[in-house]
Amino acid sequence: MSFVYEPTDEQPQVIHADHEVLVVSKPSGLLSVPGRGEDRTDCLIERLRGAFPTILLVHRLDMDTSGVMVFGLTPHAQRYLSKQFEDRKTKKTYVARLSGRLEPKVGTVDLPLIVDWPNRPRQKVDHAEGRPAQTDWRVIRATDMETRVRLSPVTGRSHQLRVHMAELGHPILGDSLYATGAAADFPRLMLHAENLRFKHPETGVTQSFTAPVPF
């Protein structure tokens, strides 16, 4: 069955804007950038372009992930911010709801990832060819049914958090690609980019931006 893109009506919320950077909270169910085809033009960057015509992409969130994203509003800001992501100088924190009880309370997943070509856009663990990927986790609270966890990706691979949690045996709830059965049967992917820290391109001062968790 082919995927039909039905973008959410929920609009992005502006968290911060100045003459260099724009920080917003992206809703779940909206592409960060246009996809291939006329039916995939509605996306976060296009919805923001009317109010911020100089908007430039720095990083992305998966369509189903909500939360904090930063854009550059000048070429200098885009370069400055992009380099921080590249050099892993930004600090990203996510909140997720996982299937089952994750133990211990704190840990790190270190599993290399590569695209699963026959099953794109899925990614998979590949110890021979995969690119290094690390995710730190800290349990917020847990029952036998589910765990609320704070995730801090050290690297920024595609679908990293989703694959790493599934590999632990605790897929993110609502994950149509990596969860099965009841764990997949949620109205959205229970993954939210809660906080993003970066150095401002004009001042060099570290700033921290948060979007409240919607689940």
The residues that are catalytic are 62
How many Å from the N-terminal Cα to the C-terminal Cα in the chain? 29
Return d(Cα 17, Cα 96) in angstroms, integer.
Answer: 27
3-state secondary structure of 126: coil
Q: Which two tokens stand for residue 52?
A: 């911020």
| Alpha-helical segments (H) within the chain | 44-49, 75-86, 160-167
Q: What is the dihedral of CA 123, 152, 6, 22, to 10 degrees?
A: -130
Q: Which two tokens stand for residue 55?
A: 């908007």
Beta strand 206-210 pairing with 113-115: unpaired
CA atoms within 13 A on the CB side of 103: 4
User: Residue written as tokens 């589910």?
Assistant: 146
Residue pair 68/194 in contact (Cβ under 8 Å)? The answer is: yes
Return d(Cα 12, Cα 47) in angstroms, integer.
Answer: 8
3-state secondary structure of 152: strand
